[in-house]
Amino acid sequence: MGFLLACKVFLKALKNEKGAKDFLEGQSTEAVISEEHTHLRLLSLLQKEGRLIDFLKEDITSFTDAQIGAAIRKIHGECGKTLEEFVTLRPLLQETEGANVTLPQGYDVNAIKVIGKVKGNPPYQGILRHKGWKAHKLSLPKQIGKTDPTVVFPAEVEIK
């Protein structure tokens, strides 16, 4: 186990002493699955509204470009609306992609990835290849009740 992971587990145990004791005594796995699994809930919403997982897991080699294009239009619209509703994303940089940009000394290395022939220290002159994305709002609905967080979307069976 890595040192950082061990520290995270320790801090979680401090926050949830009962869960940690239950886990150590073999009574509960709740301490291990205490994370909210927001990434899976977002994936679930994208599946529910736009059938994104269905599309990504589908073998599309037998479909024509026109068929794929028609499917993409609906998936793009529905998933785009869902993403905007629950995770508002905005570009990190406002310049147009392809524009010349200057990165000053002390720029945020977590927000801007420098690629290409990097030499010396900033300021750097370069061409913006991708604006990047930053989440400005995260408003995923809370998980209600005890459900298996790994079930991203339930199977559907129609009874006739």
| Residue 52 CB neighbours (<10 A) | 20
Q: Tens digit of pLDDT for each residue in 13-30?
A: 666 666 666 666 654 444
Helix (H, G, I), strand (E, B) or coil at 137: strand
Q: Name the token pair of 65.
A: 């470009």
Please name which of 147, 146, 25, 144 lies closest in space to residue 17, comparing C-alpha atoms.
25
Residue 44 to residue 24: CA distance in whole angstroms:
31
CA distance 17 to 23: 10
pTM over 0.75: no
Read off the pLDDT band of 36 (50, 70, 90): low
